[in-house]
Amino acid sequence: MEKRKLGSTGPDVPVICLGGNVFGWTVLEAEAFRLLDAALDAGLNFVDTADVYSRWVAGNKGGESETIIGKWIAKSGKRKDVILATKVGVEMGEGKKGLKAAYIRQAVEDSLQRLQTDYIDLYQAHRDDPETSLEETLTAFDALVKQGKSGSLAHRITVGRVWPRPWRRAASMGWQAISRCSRTTT
């Protein structure tokens, strides 16, 4: 499996990842376990999910994908073999949304609990939050790296925001938070 370095400081990851957005939606737990095992057996050890997956399904509240992956990690004992990525920021209900520092701290703890792990390899902002300064968001992300809750972080920057090169700002502030940024349009 071809691999590349994630950003400048992250781990080597396969050029594709297994997306967990269907876990708890169109793929139920037993099939998800089979898919995760098969992916790992094939050398695909990069798994991506988000706290919001699969909130859009009737009866779901979000976190279903992370919960299934967490159960698989606990059952298989393969946490050390997986590069685990998840995201924060999309509306989870009850005012749970965005990228304010307090919410990031709460959301990462919720994700860690659902994933049944004590660290996330790549913690990402799912989308930009125009109501929160990038400095607040990046400071919160940096704190997660320093606490050992995440190895790498990524923030999607929407064109038109204040910092066109947020990773340079992160470096100038001594933040460890950004190892990879992507620039997207709205």
Mean pLDDT in runs of 10 for the chain (186 residues)?
Answer: 78 90 96 98 95 92 96 97 92 87 93 94 86 86 82 49 54 56 37
- CB atoms under 10 Å from CB of 162, counted, come to 10
Residue 162, pLDDT score: 46
Non-local (6+) Cβ contacts of 151 within 8 A are 10, 11, 119, 120, 121, 122, 145
Non-local (6+) Cβ contacts of 26 within 8 A are none
Residue 154, pLDDT score: 54
Phi first, then psi: what are they for 62, rounded to 5°?
Answer: 100, 150
Non-local (6+) Cβ contacts of 155 within 8 A are 124, 125, 128, 134, 137, 138, 141, 166, 177, 178, 181
Residue whose C-alpha is closest to residue 88's, from 156, 136, 37, 36? 156
**DSSP 8-state code for residue 80:** G
- CB atoms under 10 Å from CB of 76, counted, come to 14
Q: Are 53 and 65 in contact (CB under 8 A)?
A: yes
Residue 74, pLDDT score: 97
Residue 69, pLDDT score: 98
CA dist 125 and 153 (Å) reads: 8
CA dist 76 and 107 (Å) reads: 25
Residues taking part in catalysis: 53
Residue 90, pLDDT score: 87
Residue 150, pLDDT score: 78
Q: Residue holding tokens 């607040």? A: 136
Residue 111, pLDDT score: 95
The class of domain 3-184 in CATH terms is alpha beta
CA dist 15 and 93 (Å) reads: 33
Q: Are 79 and 117 in contact (CB under 8 A)?
A: yes
